[in-house]
Chains A and B, each alone.
Chain A
Amino acid sequence: MTLYTRVIGALRPPKRLNRSFAVSFMLFALLLAFGSFMILPLVYAVNNAFKPLDELFIFPPRFFVRNPTLENFTDLAVIMGNSWVPFTRYVANTLLITLVGTAGHILLASAAAYPLAKFRFPGSGMLFKIVVLSLMFSPHVTAIPNYLVMSQLGWINTQAAIIVPSLAFSLGLFLMKQFMEQIPDALIEAAKIDGANEYRVFWQIVMPNVKPAWLTLMILQFPALWGTDGGNFIYSENLKTLHYALSQIIQGGIARAGVGAAVALLLMTVPILLFIISQSSVIQTMATSGMKE
């Protein structure tokens, strides 16, 4: 399908009843208007990365680039080549944290959410309430108690200090539980009658049915970890993350402004790519896997 037919197809209401073309068109126009307003920061960041130095400092600032250049990126490559810790090291550290943190979080949070969503047992209501309550406590005050816990465990200056707590953010369990509630009980029972045990039901029935939920969780968790700089826990240079290394480059001041813009674009690109990939895999494969009662 060409892009053109795809866009036109979007204006035509899908196989749904009760739709009028006029209202669809109006709503679509409304979406476009708001959308163009929302997309401004992305456009600005992309433009900034390709601006030569004199355009970056022009006053009044210009939104769009006039003479695009790749200078910022080549400068960045030079700086990276000169860094004391090999640049690949930062990349490896970040990948370790984000991949293990994201995958582990999705797995642990869903495993904990499934019993809470579908069964009642001693303590279940209480545990879920605690998780929701913890969402409402400001993280600014727990920073110091958290540090104390870490140092008691001897995890200061290890990757575990970043990865392990991220496995159990309350957000993930809450999100997964809310989605799992939608799965019909009959489906789970049918699987049990067919001889599946709890673990199998979870893995083969529940998880495939909440695919949009865990892809959403991935989109939320990945950028959060991707943007971490090690916080209060990691001090060794060779354990630091990509975000830290790049923020050091940005802090180089005015002379590095162009490189900074390039860095901002690079840091943004990875979560966006992930977002696009995961979005395209959610598309319309849903509600076909035994969801109907």
Chain B
Amino acid sequence: MVQIQNTTEPALQGLAGGPRRESRLALLWKDIKKSKHYYIMMSPYMIIFFLFTVIPVVISFGLSFFYFNMLETPRFVGWENYSRLLLGDDVFMIALKNTFLFAVITGPLSYIACFLFAWLINELSPFVRALMTLVFYAPSISGNVFFIWLIVFSGDSYGYLNGFLMKIGVLLEPIIWLQNEKYILAIIIIVQLWLSLGTSFLAFIAGLQTVDQSLFEAAAMDGIKNRWQELWFVTLPSMRPQLMFGAVMQITASFAVAEVSIALAGFPSVNYAGHTVVTHLMDYGTLRFEMGYASAIATILFGIMLGTNMMTQKLLRKVGE
């Protein structure tokens, strides 16, 4: 509502016969002066944010046009990094394909799972709700516990999965799951899904608790019949800010798969079967020390995430209509 004040006041002044031909710059300056408290409130955060996030990002974006091995001074190469990446790097194409596969499968699935579980948990009584939230958040909170999956998918007959499948007679010989190109991708997807109830899940849980409860009573009066209608017409629209947050987080996470792949399939994985854009980036950034090339990879990844996010946000605007 205050934003209306900001725009109407100069107009009112004009009517009152004040200085009519105020330049746009002067108006802007007035706006800025009026909002000075907002700038003061934001300044501590913004100064630190620019210093330690924006500037490094800009530097690394700039580096993507250089050859830089961290010892010699950077040498300008123009678009060479990009053309090499997109035209001459077969491994990058594998990484790109894998990353898209991950994102297409884990992205939407984990997003829906995050919301669905948060929504179901929210219906429970407070004590059980807290307990269940902990249970579902456990994989994210317990750090590197995904090493347990190494035991499950262990390649000999002692691995849990092999042992189980042999016992019920599906397999005669153990499968070396994590060395087999056919299975690596699927396994990483499963583990990634299991890990994915993280940030967005918590945000949804908290978001559901801030939804105004009287809306539900009003909706029931207006003829909402069951919980599914309630979900679509009341809960989802009033959680739009959190849904947006969750979408960005989930998309970013599903395109940035690397840790799980490295822990399970090794680095590099057999025939690059578990290679992703981020592992490719780590390869060049931390092993080969080609920072310019790594920065170009990061920039392309950034572009992909950005495009996906814009598409998703368009979709999300339709929720509850």
Q: Are B143 and A23 in contact (CB under 8 A)?
A: no
The main secondary structure of chain A at its interface with chain B is helix
Q: Are A45 and B285 in contact (CB under 8 A)?
A: no
Q: Are A145 and B55 in contact (CB under 8 A)?
A: yes
Give Cα distance in the complex from A38 to B110, angstroms: 14
CB contact under 8 A between A268 and B210, given known A108-B48, A112-B41, A116-B42: no
Residues on B with beta carbons closer than 8 Å to the beta carbon of A108: 44-45, 48
Q: Are B138 and A287 in contact (CB under 8 A)?
A: no
Give Cα distance in the complex from A197 to B37, angstroms: 9
Q: Are B294 and A140 in contact (CB under 8 A)?
A: yes
Q: Are A287 and B212 in contact (CB under 8 A)?
A: yes
User: CB of B107 within 8 A of chain A?
Assistant: no
Residues on A with beta carbons closer than 8 Å to the beta carbon of B227: 18-19, 23
User: CB of A122 within 8 A of chain B?
Assistant: yes
Give Cα distance in the complex from A13 to B34, angstroms: 50
- A279's partner among B55, B133, B211, B242 (CB-CB below 8 A) is B133
Residues on A with beta carbons closer than 8 Å to the beta carbon of B160: 60
Residues on A with beta carbons closer than 8 Å to the beta carbon of B298: 137-138, 140-141
Residues on A with beta carbons closer than 8 Å to the beta carbon of B142: 41-42, 45, 268
User: CB of A231 within 8 A of chain B?
Assistant: no
Residues on A with beta carbons closer than 8 Å to the beta carbon of B35: 115, 119, 121-122
- B302's partner among A24, A38, A137, A216 (CB-CB below 8 A) is A137
- A182's partner among B127, B241, B286 (CB-CB below 8 A) is B241
Count of B residues near A, CB < 8 Å? 106
Q: Are B306 and A133 in contact (CB under 8 A)?
A: yes
**Chain A interface residue number, banded:** 35 or more
Q: Are A138 and B38 in contact (CB under 8 A)?
A: no
Minimum CB distance partner of A1 in chain B: B127
Q: Are B242 and A179 in contact (CB under 8 A)?
A: yes
Interface locus among B90-98, B201-209, B266-274: B201-209
Minimum CB distance partner of A131 in chain B: B49
CB contact under 8 A between A164 and B256, given known A189-B1, A199-B37: no
Give Cα distance in the complex from A114 to B37, angstroms: 11
Residues on B with beta carbons closer than 8 Å to the beta carbon of A291: 210, 212
Q: Are B59 and A145 in contact (CB under 8 A)?
A: yes
CB contact under 8 A between A38 and B139, given known A127-B46, A140-B278: yes
Residues on A with beta carbons closer than 8 Å to the beta carbon of B158: 59-61
Minimum CB distance partner of B70 in chain A: A144
Interface locus among B8-16, B117-125, B178-186: B117-125
Interface locus among A49-57, A66-74, A89-97, A170-178: A170-178
Give Cα distance in the complex from A22 to B143, angstroms: 37
Minimum CB distance partner of B52 in chain A: A165
- A18's partner among B203, B211, B230 (CB-CB below 8 A) is B230
Residues on A with beta carbons closer than 8 Å to the beta carbon of B281: 138, 140-141
Residues on B with beta carbons closer than 8 Å to the beta carbon of A146: 52, 56
Give Cα distance in the complex from A70 to B160, angstroms: 27
User: CB of B82 within 8 A of chain A?
Assistant: no
Q: Are B295 and A141 in contact (CB under 8 A)?
A: yes
User: CB of A286 within 8 A of chain B?
Assistant: yes
Give Cα distance in the complex from A202 to B40, angstroms: 13
CB contact under 8 A between A10 and B45, given known A175-B203, A276-B130, A292-B214: no
CB contact under 8 A between A120 and B6, given known A44-B148, A138-B281, A173-B45: yes
Per-position binary interface string of chain B over residues 16-46, scored 1 when its CB falls under 8 Å from any chain A CB and 0 otherwise: 0000000000001001101101110110111
CB contact under 8 A between A41 and B242, given known A9-B125, A10-B128, A149-B52: no
Q: Are A141 and B291 in contact (CB under 8 A)?
A: yes
Residues on B with beta carbons closer than 8 Å to the beta carbon of A171: 199, 249
Listed in ascending order, the chain B residues whose CB lies under 8 Å from chain A are 1-3, 6, 28, 31-32, 34-35, 37-39, 41-42, 44-46, 48-49, 51-57, 59-60, 63, 70, 117, 120-121, 123-130, 132-139, 141-143, 145-146, 148, 151, 158-160, 163, 194, 197, 199, 202-203, 205-207, 209-214, 216-217, 220, 224-227, 230, 238, 241-242, 244-245, 248-249, 252, 256, 278, 281-282, 285-286, 291, 294-295, 297-298, 301-302, 305-306, 309
Q: List 29 A-B contacts (CB under 8 A).
A: A13-B123, A18-B224, A40-B148, A41-B138, A59-B158, A61-B151, A108-B45, A112-B42, A115-B42, A134-B49, A138-B278, A138-B298, A141-B285, A168-B48, A168-B49, A174-B248, A178-B244, A179-B206, A179-B242, A198-B37, A198-B38, A213-B203, A213-B206, A268-B143, A276-B130, A280-B126, A282-B206, A286-B209, A291-B212
Nearest 8 pairs between A and B by C-beta? A212-B206, A115-B38, A145-B56, A121-B35, A112-B45, A60-B158, A178-B241, A41-B145
Listed in ascending order, the chain A residues whose CB lies under 8 Å from chain B are 6-7, 9-10, 13-14, 16-20, 23-24, 27-28, 30-31, 34-35, 37-42, 44-45, 59-61, 108-109, 111-112, 114-116, 118-122, 124, 127, 130-138, 140-146, 148-149, 164-165, 167-171, 173-175, 177-179, 181-182, 185-186, 188-189, 197-199, 202, 209-210, 212-213, 215-216, 219-220, 223, 227, 264, 267-268, 271-272, 275-276, 279-280, 282-284, 286-287, 291-293
